[in-house]
Structure 1
Amino acid sequence: MADVTKTRAVVLGGSIAGLFAARVLADAYDEVLIVDRDALIGVDGPRRSCPQGKHINGLLARGQLAMEEMFPGITEEIFADGVPTGDLAGDVRWYFKGKPIKQQDAGLTCVSASRPMLEKHIRRRTNALENVTFVEKHDILGVTTSEDKRRITGVKVQRIGTKSAEKVLSADLVVDATGRGSRTPIWLEELGYGRVEEERKKIGLGYVTQHYRLTEDPYHGDLSINPVASAALPRGAIFTKTDGGRVELTTYGLLGDHPPTDQAGLFEWLKTLSTQDIYNAVKTAEILDEPVAFRFPTTLRRRYEKMDRFPDGLLVVGDAVTCFNPVYAQGMTVSALSALTIRGHLHSGATPDPKLYFADLARDVIDPPWEMTNTVDLSFPGVEGNRTFALKVQQFFLSLTQTAASRDGDVAAAYMKTAGMVAKPESLMQPKILFKIIKAVLFGRKNQAVPRSAASPKVTALPGNNAVTEEKKAA
């Protein structure tokens, strides 16, 4: 007979969001089950249920700090597995509005791991927790409730590929981490809680990813080359060293202007970017796989915090709450911060109050990056949305900041701290930084993007290795 005094949490989805959630739940519940359609244990490559696993997935600096807080030592374990690293501001060649920004170290650790590599390490550390169990290759059929439907009491599941009957996993808490296709909105309507309000913005994003082994080094000690799309040129790319001695390219276009998947067409597309460094590197590189496409038509935010009623015993995290424009790489970091928000609501042995959780999640975790990306998305004239006077002021200030970042290293470092979610956007309004922005815009000299090989002669890094610079770049 089962010990009914034991507490159990069930996480729906073995995604990174689900793994982070399971980690914090393991500190509060006797047993944590992670249910997923895929095989998870021992899997090193992309998962079938995670199509974005074949593309670049960035973990921002704030996400790295949160991951390290939950799994002490994991960052060094990832680096020891051949993952390159560097500083987000000092070792990445960023281009905004077609101009390179000044490179200056800002203490922002990059984890340049492929999505499968990152998942592998987080999953291994999660699986090492004695009270966590993976329920693999199971479909999630629905939830069970108390008689009055005020509490979620468990999950109905069925093993894939068998004729076995469905079974119920009883739970004190269910956490939905099933991503954009989450069925929580449907379940809530069926249970009489009404429809959750949703915000969508059509951005028409499409991107293509390919991996290479380089014969020439375009990095000169840098970690990545990232020309960012702008209103004048709505095309961009991330071209980064990654694990396995490989280089990973994801190039993208907005508003239906998508990169082609034929090799010749893709190379022609790369010629149109705001830097020729990427095309010049890949045209002679060893091609390791075929170009793979992904489409992301709309951003999505489900406003659970606005619901009048919500059942006890159920929380939602990750893309199941908010799908950001993936170009800004905020998804995994927000998932990590969502887990820490859950941790903050696990106290006194009581099940978290969903209303309080969603209020904190919205205000402290989702609002800042959502507003920041909305400001950038609506700078593209073809993106539909309400361009208020306040938004236009924010866009004007962002444009000034990006111009200043191309001329002043301190501004560039401060700006990248906001992009890495380590600092809030309003930090750029501090008098010291604001003065530097104004001074750089009015009197600063333009950055000519001097290669690191000229600026820092000590660098001996080759493409794909894990070396980082021995000297910081001059501001």
Structure 2
Amino acid sequence: MSDVTKTRAVVLGGSIAGLFAARVLADAYDEVQIIDRDKLIGVAGPRRNCPQGKHINGLLARGQQVMEEFYPGITKEIFADGVPTGDLCGDVRWYFNGVRLQQQAAGLTCVSASRPMLEKHIRRRTAALPNVVFVEEHDILGLTTTPDKGTVTGVRVQAHGQKRERAIDADLVVDATGRGSRSPVWLEELGYGRVEEESKKVGLGYVTQHYRLKADPYGHDLSINPVANAKLPRGAIFTKTDGGRVELTAYGILGDHPPTDQQGFYDFVKTLAAPEIWEALQHAEPLDEPVAFRFPTTLRRRYEKLDRLPGGLLVVGDAVTCFNPVYAQGMTVSALSALTIRNHLHSGAAPQPKLYFEDLARNVIDLAWEMTNIIDLSFPGVEGERTREVKMAQKFLKLVQIAATRDKKVAAAYMRTAGLIERPESLQKPAFIARVLWNALRGPAKKTPAPALVPIIPVETWSTEKKAA
């Protein structure tokens, strides 16, 4: 940069991954600029260039913990804005292999916010940082580098409606532009070779719709989640969310997708393992039209395997790894990626990209990627190598899920690993394995009927009746 007394980091993309990255960079740089194609400040609804914004986006318990560490008090602020909450195990009705799991509080805070609501709060807290600047409605054209291409020195951008591009100098550039990231192309053009990629065709498709309920299927629960399995590759997340609404995302694997016509969508929902969802929809007011999203393949970019990398460039979030969204790992891994950046901001020096990517792969992505890989490969139609280790892990996971239909402690421990609070090794302790086997060998618990629907009396009706009494 021209002014050697000032340091600047530039974040490409104002997504949640970009906001988390900007938060940690703000502690180390004099200025942090966030560049995005969309208008960001003051936006409350789904953003144009964030198609996932119209669908359920889950923040796992570990993600909530990191978010709270970055922005102390933000969780309470979100709840105060009308977002319901509960415990991932104690207040969520899970169905695995068609059978309901036991429920027990496991210390796993759910933030049942819609994607726009969550973005709004994280963006507001990030914008409040005095050294963070939002550069809105700009296209990102490419990187600038030193003459020897050994260090990234900034980014070329173009404001919407303008013909001339301009360069923004930076001591560090962080790419948070998502799956469509151009970093692999840029690196290859700069002579650093091709970034190795791993992908798996899962053929996922889902449809989302919001409702106002007239009959309550939840009781004290926050969400009802039947999970797809090999015999029925269909599932759903049916959750209370902000604005007094409920949000339903129904999904299918390997091309078995929900239709978007209203009756067809209802018919699809009727086949799910949780019949109370379909029953509740018979007493619900749709607030919007069913909206579809397709996710054909998972994707992992192995930056850590490149022999060399330029200084001054890091990549985070979906721009590194796109997980199967059914498992809701994306935002939490983005939060952990920002933590990894923070760990590499040593005494004001720019992070070394090679060390960062190796650390990110080893301590963040490997674990989440392997967890989802084991589950994805449990569907016979998903192509991929089913090693002996994968098959053993699948068998043990099936035993844990069966045991969790009988034993609350097993269910809680399982959900703590799913929430990325505990590592899978926590399920390998001898006492826990014995507990799993004792319950699993008895077979799944008998299916328990869902609570009866309870009519919801509108507040104005309740008030009138009370006055009349």
TM-score (norm 2): 0.95
How far apart are residue 432 of structure 1 and its match? 2.4
In the alignment, what sits opposite 1:359?
358
How far apart are residue 275 of structure 1 and its match? 1.5
> Residues 419-441 of structure 1: CA distance to partner in whole angstroms, max 9, x if unpaired?
10001111111122212101111
Equivalences for residues 419-438 of structure 1 within 5 A: 419-438=418-437
Residues 276 and 450 in structure 2, CA contact (< 8 A), matched pair in contact too: no
- The change in CA–CA distance for 1:453 and 1:345 in structure 2 (over 3 A counts) is farther
In the alignment, what sits opposite 2:152?
152
- The change in CA–CA distance for 1:370 and 1:170 in structure 2 (over 3 A counts) is same
In the alignment, what sits opposite 1:36?
36
Distance in 2, Cα, partners of 1:464 & 1:346:
53
- Residue 200 of structure 1 aligns to a residue whose secondary structure is strand
Distance in 2, Cα, partners of 1:24 & 1:389:
40
In the alignment, what sits opposite 1:228?
227
How far apart are residue 442 of structure 1 and its match? 2.3
For structure 2, list consecutive stretches of 5 or more residues without a partner in the other structure: 460-469
Q: Which amino acid aligns with 1:226?
A: N
Residues 236 and 249 in structure 2, CA contact (< 8 A), matched pair in contact too: yes
Distance in 1, Cα, partners of 2:342 & 2:458:
37
In the alignment, what sits opposite 1:219?
218
Distance in 1, Cα, partners of 2:103 & 2:343:
36
Distance in 1, Cα, partners of 2:227 & 2:60:
16
- The change in CA–CA distance for 1:159 and 1:425 in structure 2 (over 3 A counts) is same
Residues 407 and 439 in structure 2, CA contact (< 8 A), matched pair in contact too: yes
Residues 11 and 175 in structure 2, CA contact (< 8 A), matched pair in contact too: yes
- Residue 364 of structure 1 aligns to a residue whose secondary structure is helix
Equivalences for residues 143-292 of structure 1 within 5 A: 143-163=143-163, 165-292=164-291
Distance in 2, Cα, partners of 1:209 & 1:153:
42
Number of aligned residue pairs: 459
Residues 99 and 444 in structure 2, CA contact (< 8 A), matched pair in contact too: no
Comparing 292-301 and 280-289, the one that deviates more? 280-289
Distance in 1, Cα, partners of 2:102 & 2:223:
14
In the alignment, what sits opposite 1:310?
309
Residues 243 and 464 in structure 1, CA contact (< 8 A), matched pair in contact too: no
In the alignment, what sits opposite 1:415?
414
Equivalences for residues 129-140 of structure 1 within 5 A: 129-140=129-140
How far apart are residue 463 of structure 1 and its match? 10
Q: Which amino acid aligns with 2:286?
A: I
For structure 1, list consecutive stretches of 5 or more residues without a partner in the other structure: 455-459, 466-475
> Residues 258-303 of structure 1: CA distance to partner in whole angstroms, max 9, x if unpaired?
0000000001101110111110001220110000000000000000
Distance in 2, Cα, partners of 1:218 & 1:153:
55
Q: Which amino acid aligns with 1:124?
A: R
Distance in 1, Cα, partners of 2:447 & 2:388:
34
> Residues 140-171 of structure 1: CA distance to partner in whole angstroms, max 9, x if unpaired?
000000011000000000101223x1111000
In the alignment, what sits opposite 1:114?
114
Distance in 1, Cα, partners of 2:271 & 2:230:
14
In the alignment, what sits opposite 2:78?
78
Equivalences for residues 366-381 of structure 1 within 5 A: 366-381=365-380
- Residue 289 of structure 1 aligns to a residue whose secondary structure is coil
Distance in 2, Cα, partners of 1:443 & 1:116:
44
- Residue 425 of structure 2 aligns to a residue whose secondary structure is helix
In the alignment, what sits opposite 2:464?
none
TM-score (norm 1): 0.94
Distance in 2, Cα, partners of 1:447 & 1:247:
28
Distance in 2, Cα, partners of 1:441 & 1:51:
41
> Residues 4-51 of structure 1: CA distance to partner in whole angstroms, max 9, x if unpaired?
310000000000000000000000000000000000000000001100
Distance in 2, Cα, partners of 1:15 & 1:280:
36
> Residues 210-258 of structure 1: CA distance to partner in whole angstroms, max 9, x if unpaired?
0000000000110000000000000000000000000000000010110
Residues 219 and 225 in structure 1, CA contact (< 8 A), matched pair in contact too: yes
Comparing 74-83 and 3-12, the one that deviates more? 3-12
Distance in 1, Cα, partners of 2:15 & 2:68:
17
Equivalences for residues 328-367 of structure 1 within 5 A: 328-367=327-366
Residues 99 and 406 in structure 1, CA contact (< 8 A), matched pair in contact too: yes
Q: Considering only aligned residues, what root-mean-square deviation do their CA atoms show, in Å?
A: 1.8
Residues 179 and 319 in structure 1, CA contact (< 8 A), matched pair in contact too: yes
How far apart are residue 448 of structure 1 and its match? 3.8
Residues 84 and 111 in structure 1, CA contact (< 8 A), matched pair in contact too: yes
Distance in 1, Cα, partners of 2:111 & 2:150:
42
Distance in 1, Cα, partners of 2:448 & 2:300:
38
Distance in 1, Cα, partners of 2:192 & 2:106:
46
Q: Which amino acid aligns with 1:50?
A: C
* % same residue: 73
Q: Which amino acid aligns with 2:417?
A: T
- The change in CA–CA distance for 1:209 and 1:191 in structure 2 (over 3 A counts) is same
How far apart are residue 450 of structure 1 and its match? 5.8
Residues 94 and 100 in structure 1, CA contact (< 8 A), matched pair in contact too: yes
Residues 196 and 305 in structure 2, CA contact (< 8 A), matched pair in contact too: yes
How far apart are residue 183 of structure 1 and its match? 0.1
> Residues 310-349 of structure 1: CA distance to partner in whole angstroms, max 9, x if unpaired?
0000000000000000000000000000000000000121
Residues 92 and 226 in structure 1, CA contact (< 8 A), matched pair in contact too: yes
Distance in 1, Cα, partners of 2:436 & 2:311:
48
Distance in 2, Cα, partners of 1:453 & 1:409:
23
How far apart are residue 449 of structure 1 and its match? 3.4
How far apart are residue 3 of structure 1 and its match? 3.5
Distance in 1, Cα, partners of 2:57 & 2:170:
32
In the alignment, what sits opposite 1:471?
none
Distance in 2, Cα, partners of 1:461 & 1:189:
60
